[in-house]
Amino acid sequence: MASIYDESHEMFRDSFRSFVASDMSPHGAQWEADGIMDRNVFVEAGKHGFIGTAVAEKFGGGGTNDFRFNAIVGEELAFAGMGGAGLGITLHNDITTPYFVEYCDEDQATRWLPGIASGELVTAIAMTEPGTGSDLAAIATTAVRDGDEYILNGAKTFITNGINSDLIIVVARTAPEGGHKGMSLLVVERGMEGFERGRNLEKIGQHSQDTAELFFSDVRVPVANRLGDEGRAFEYLTFNLAQERLSIGLFGLAAARAAMGWTVDYVKEREAFGQPIAAFQNTKFVLAEVSTEIEVTRPFMEQCITQLNSGELSPAQAARAKLWGTELQNRIIDRCLQLFGGYGYTSEYPIGRAYADARITTIYGGTSEIMKTIISKEVI
């Protein structure tokens, strides 16, 4: 099967790989200890055109909707073992920027898009609440219209880029209608009175990713900060779900590929009972199975990228990518860690961190159970 990437993509890959090696990997351990990535990485990435590729050139972006560039960014971050810090960049590129590109009016585009493309304005999206989880229909955060402003009250949790973010897309109920009706998207900016960040949550993995609680107490958000029309948030949120879920699934596949590479290197070097671990039949069989699962998955994921680029990626197909990619990630990393023995459970090798980082991927962006529900609607 021919590669879906051409020479321009491979040049972009080489450049981004060098950027990760020079500007990210040397600091990974410190960011893990700090519980947050240095936000200046966004600025440096912006200088080289690694973020904001979908932003129009007139606003300083790459001016392309070719998701292959986004996929390359995710892959290279996974290959470098950047499961935590990498999420901050892929969320900014793949998940939040599309909302600004699609729904900003001219004034908003002029205010925000240049900073989004340059990395000076880090973005986040705040959907999940302490009592809602995957149930968007139960959102309780409210925004009451008062003249040219909304008065925003509520709380959000598990917000990626929650500490570093400058622009946060907040899903709030602007009308009393229940369920999916009456919700709107409001952009809360750093420093707005009444907006407070809570804890940078301590997690079992992805330590370098700032995942925070956000609190809104009578925050006056200008109507000029509303994305799109009032009451259409659920419609807007579904617009980008296919890309979001594909992004997560692709990262899962790349993380599995990285784990296999680390494991092959390790079993060739490590000896037990007088011979390399690679010489044992069990090692060969495990890696043969792992390799097969990866190679069978790659064409499907590339097909999904092609479908997304042409506007043909269905919700069910995106759900399959997310379900399979993240389950594959967890399954393969677990099997690879076993071949490291006790060393796999230490921080000495990247496989241990990848194991902890992987566990959340079947939960965020829609749980595996939600993905199965979406797929079943197409099947039955």
pLDDT in tens, 227-240: 999 999 999 998 88
> What residue type is assigned to position 258 of the chain?
A
Confidence of residue 218 (pLDDT cuts 50, 70, 90): very high
Confidence of residue 153 (pLDDT cuts 50, 70, 90): very high
pLDDT exceeds cutoff 80 at 135 = no
Q: How far apart are CA 147 and CA 145, in angstroms?
A: 6
Are 124 and 169 a contacting pair, CB within 8 Å? yes
The kind and range of the H/E element at 288 are helix 281-309
Give the pLDDT score at 333: 98
Q: What is the DSSP annotation of 43-95?
A: HHHHHTT-S-TTS-GGGTS-----HHHHHHHHHHHHHTT-TTHHHHHHIIIII
First to last CA, the chain: 31
| Size of the chain in residues | 380
Give the pLDDT score at 2: 78
1, 45, 63 from 169: Cα distances, Å: 40, 22, 22
pLDDT in tens, 3-48: 899 999 999 999 999 999 999 999 999 999 999 999 999 999 999 9
Confidence of residue 219 (pLDDT cuts 50, 70, 90): very high
Largest Cα span, the chain: 78
How many CB atoms within 10 Å of residue 131? 11
pLDDT exceeds cutoff 70 at 298 = yes
pLDDT in tens, 181-206: 899 999 999 999 999 999 999 999 99
How many CB atoms within 10 Å of residue 361? 24
Q: How far apart are CA 185 and CA 64, in angstroms?
A: 25
38, 49, 58, 108, 109 from 113: Cα distances, Å: 21, 14, 10, 8, 5
Give the pLDDT score at 239: 86
> What residue type is assigned to position 274 of the chain?
G
> Angle at the Cα of 39 (from 74 to 72), degrees rounded to 5?
15
Class of domain 240-379: mainly alpha
- Give catalytic residues, as residue numbers: 244
What's the mean pLDDT in 262-285? 96
Give the pLDDT score at 1: 64
The kind and range of the H/E element at 237 are helix 233-239
pLDDT in tens, 158-177: 999 999 999 999 999 999 88
Closest CA to 180 of 150, 139, 240: 139
Residue-range domain boundaries for the chain: 7-121, 124-231, 240-379
Between strands 149-160 and 211-222, the pairing is antiparallel
Q: Between residues 232 and 138, which one has the greater pLDDT?
A: 232
Task: Reply yes or no on domain 7-121 having CATH 1.10.540.10.
Answer: yes
pLDDT in tens, 71-122: 999 999 999 999 889 899 999 999 999 999 999 999 999 999 999 999 999 9
Q: How far apart are CA 218 and CA 125, in angstroms?
A: 19
Instruction: Report the CATH fold assignment for 124-231.
Output: Butyryl-CoA Dehydrogenase, subunit A; domain 2 (2.40.110)
pLDDT in tens, 316-374: 999 999 999 999 999 999 999 999 999 999 988 999 999 999 999 999 999 999 999 99
Between strands 211-222 and 226-227, the pairing is unpaired
Q: What's the burial of 231, exposed, middle or buried (CB within 10 Å: 0-12/13-18/19+)?
A: middle
Give the pLDDT score at 169: 98
